[in-house]
């Protein structure tokens, strides 16, 4: 991808002028639903619906074709039957449209005839660059552009997401919304007839509104280019990849789904590792990692302190931290003395720091600060302190608020683990990105952060 395109791709996500070809008044059609999502989403830019047979859709004026739009179009969304796209893309080229997002399906994913049509379409596009075809759309939080089928509208934030499956991609966004994870850009890449995952990666590597890149992939058309772009990302910000089609069975399923050639896992593994790609091993871990990388600074070492309300959780936390590679830090006498003043005399005097039934939320927070501040500690896992006071949400809210402050102050990860279904409140929901559903999930995410920290240090040294 040329430098020029890197500059330009911002306009794909932040168009001043957006055309929507295939706009429809029929509420069952994609051409209606996606347009409605754009308008309801509060897009900060001009929208020009195109349909030769309608005058007004959703209350706004409709244009018969692209040429009749009186402005220079940055991005056109194309949502028409496949057989009409060639002509429309040709018009895009004529009108100087910079990007076309081809929602239309029925191309290479259906076989040889579709593949030919796809190639022809790319040729016809000229300088206009194509997303898709067979994409479910794009999203950009900064300018409130929600140009997809989904109703997901996650919190704005640093995570940008490239998905080879539109369905799964938008569902992950919806789940992310529930977990209060902040997203910046999203693109469902479809068949990658023109723009490829490598192009999007190159753009996001330098995109200031992106702090963490997430990707769901099934197959790679050009592994070398992908790895080059991936390295461009990982040298600056984390790149989290979930790779499906890892097995022969999965790869076979992928072939009939996205038309991409799924590559066997063994080939990816080593290359991914070398490029510093953070690998998500389950669909749930995709968001665990997005959460961790977007909420915490990288741990600068592997010495963990476990603060626990409930001995059992401490045992489990110690097991999992040890198994995964963390060191349970040995508390110095100085630290023990400080905690001594806060906890009942029979507290464990060791790590895990068992709060020993102390019912004072202030003391929990003071213990947390002692640990976050300590030179002996690189990261903190706080089990059951959140959700621990079921009588009211106030203490949970205070705990969350102070945890955010402590993370900022001491620049260390402090992951909270909910040990039971406690009180729920809007404030807690809005800060769900700090809370993990189990110590295993938190420890796994933090360990991958530590590994990325090591990778970043290694490439700095070179």
Q: Is 282 in the site for a second copy (CB under 8 A)?
A: yes
Minimum distance between the CB of residue 188 and a second copy, rounded to whole angstroms? 10
From 39-47, 163-171, 266-274, 367-375, give the range in contact with a second copy by CB under 8 A.
Answer: 163-171
Q: Which of residues 53-92 bind a second copy (CB under 8 A)?
A: none
Q: Is 151 in the site for a second copy (CB under 8 A)?
A: yes
Minimum distance between the CB of residue 319 and a second copy, rounded to whole angstroms? 3
Helix, strand, or coil (residue 157): strand
CA distance 34 to 440: 39
CA distance 129 to 195: 7
Residues touching a second copy, count (CB under 8 A): 63
Helix, strand, or coil (residue 380): strand
Q: Is 270 in the site for a second copy (CB under 8 A)?
A: no
Buried-exposed string 408-442: b where 16+ CB fall within 10 A, e elsewhere: eebebbbbbbbbeebbeeeebeebbbbbbebbbbb
Q: Is 354 in the site for a second copy (CB under 8 A)?
A: yes
Residue with tokens 């058309």: 221
Minimum distance between the CB of residue 77 and a second copy, rounded to whole angstroms? 19
User: Which of 141, 189, 197, 254: binder of a second copy (CB under 8 A)?
Assistant: 254
Q: Is 439 in the site for a second copy (CB under 8 A)?
A: yes
Binding characters for a second copy, 292-331, by CB under 8 A (x = yes): -----------------xxxxxxxxxxx-xxx----x---
Q: Is 440 in the site for a second copy (CB under 8 A)?
A: yes
| Cβ partners under 8 Å of residue 112, min gap 6 | none
Q: Is 250 in the site for a second copy (CB under 8 A)?
A: yes
CA distance 30 to 232: 35
Q: Is the dihedral of CA 66, 71, 72, 78 positive or negative?
A: negative
From 38-46, 65-73, 140-148, 253-261, give the range in contact with a second copy by CB under 8 A.
Answer: 253-261
Helix (H) or strand (E) holding 375: none
Helix, strand, or coil (residue 122): helix
Minimum distance between the CB of residue 243 and a second copy, rounded to whole angstroms? 9
Q: Is 167 in the site for a second copy (CB under 8 A)?
A: yes
Of the candidates 244, 260, 226, which has an alpha carbon nearest to the alpha carbon of residue 172?
Answer: 244
CA distance 21 to 65: 8
CA distance 342 to 437: 27
CB 443 within 8 A of CB 325: no
From 68-76, 199-207, 276-284, 407-415, give the range in contact with a second copy by CB under 8 A.
Answer: 276-284
Q: Is 247 in the site for a second copy (CB under 8 A)?
A: yes
Q: Is 155 in the site for a second copy (CB under 8 A)?
A: no
Helix (H) or strand (E) holding 166: helix 166-178
CB 377 within 8 A of CB 303: yes
Q: Is 175 in the site for a second copy (CB under 8 A)?
A: yes
Q: Count CB atoms within 10 A of the CB of residue 119.
A: 13
Which lies closer to a second copy via its Cβ, residue 177 or residue 229?
A: 177
Which lies closer to a second copy via its Cβ, residue 63 or residue 399?
A: 399
Whole-angstrom CA distances from 236 to 212, 275, 311 are: 9, 12, 40
Which lies closer to a second copy via its Cβ, residue 209 or residue 329?
A: 329
From 32-40, 173-181, 370-378, 449-457, give the range in contact with a second copy by CB under 8 A.
Answer: 173-181
- Locate the DSSP E strands across 54-181: 56-57, 60-61, 75-78, 99-102, 129-131, 137-140, 145-148, 156-163
User: Which of 45, 156, 174, 297: binder of a second copy (CB under 8 A)?
Assistant: 174
User: Which of 258, 268, 305, 446: binder of a second copy (CB under 8 A)?
Assistant: 258
Under DSSP, the state recorded for 422 is -
User: Which of 10, 246, 291, 448: binder of a second copy (CB under 8 A)?
Assistant: 246
Q: Give me the residues that bind a second copy (CB under 8 A), please.
A: 110, 151, 164-165, 167-172, 174-175, 177-178, 216, 218, 244-250, 252-254, 256-258, 262, 282-284, 309-319, 321-323, 328, 346, 348, 350, 352, 354, 384, 390, 419-421, 437-441
């Amino acid at each position: 991808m040329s430098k020029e395109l890197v500059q330009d791709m911002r306009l794909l996500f932040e168009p001043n002028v957006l055309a929507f070809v295939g706009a429809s008044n029929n509420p069952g059609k994609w051409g209606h639903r996606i347009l409605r999502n754009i308008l309801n989403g509060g897009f900060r830019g001009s929208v020009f619906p195109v349909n030769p047979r309608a005058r007004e859709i959703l209350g706004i004026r409709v244009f018969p074709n692209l040429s009749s739009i009186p402005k220079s179009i940055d991005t056109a969304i194309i949502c028409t039957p496949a057989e009409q796209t060639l002509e429309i893309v040709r018009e895009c080229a004529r009108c100087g449209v910079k990007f076309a997002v081809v929602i239309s399906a029925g191309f290479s994913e259906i076989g040889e005839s579709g593949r030919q049509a796809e190639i022809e379409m790319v040729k016809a596009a000229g300088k206009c660059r194509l997303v898709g075809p067979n994409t479910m759309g794009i999203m950009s939080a900064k300018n409130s552009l929600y140009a997809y089928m989904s109703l997901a509208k996650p919190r704005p934030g640093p995570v940008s997401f490239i998905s080879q499956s539109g369905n799964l991609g938008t569902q992950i966004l919806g789940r992310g919304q529930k977990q209060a994870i902040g997203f910046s850009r999203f693109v469902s890449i479809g068949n990658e007839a023109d723009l490829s995952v490598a192009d999007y990666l190159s753009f996001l590597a330098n995109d200031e509104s992106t702090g963490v890149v997430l990707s769901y992939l099934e197959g790679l058309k050009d592994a070398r280019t992908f790895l080059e772009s991936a390295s461009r990302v990982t040298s600056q910000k984390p790149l989290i990849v979930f790779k499906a089609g890892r097995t022969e069975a999965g790869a076979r399923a992928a072939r009939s789904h996205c038309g991409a050639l799924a590559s066997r896992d063994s080939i990816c593994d080593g290359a991914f590792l070398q490029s510093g790609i953070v690998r998500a091993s389950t669909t749930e871990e995709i968001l665990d990692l997005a959460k961790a990388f977007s909420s915490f600074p990288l741990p600068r070492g592997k010495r963990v302190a476990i603060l626990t309300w409930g001995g059992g959780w401490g045992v489990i936390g110690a097991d999992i931290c040890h198994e995964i590679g963390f060191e349970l830090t040995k508390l110095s006498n100085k630290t023990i003395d400080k905690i001594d003043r806060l906890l009942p005399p029979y507290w464990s005097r060791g790590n895990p720091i068992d709060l020993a039934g102390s019912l004072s939320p202030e003391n929990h927070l003071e213990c947390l600060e002692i640990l976050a501040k300590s030179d002996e500690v690189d990261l903190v896992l706080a089990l059951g302190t959140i959700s621990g006071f079921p009588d009211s949400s106030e203490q949970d809210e205070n705990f969350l608020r102070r945890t955010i402050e402590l993370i900022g102050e001491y620049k260390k990860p402090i992951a909270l683990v909910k040990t039971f279904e406690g009180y729920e409140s809007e404030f807690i929901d809005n800060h769900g990105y700090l809370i993990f559903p189990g110590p295993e999930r938190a420890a796994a995410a933090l360990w991958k952060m530590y590994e990325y920290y090591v990778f970043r240090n290694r490439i700095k040294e070179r």
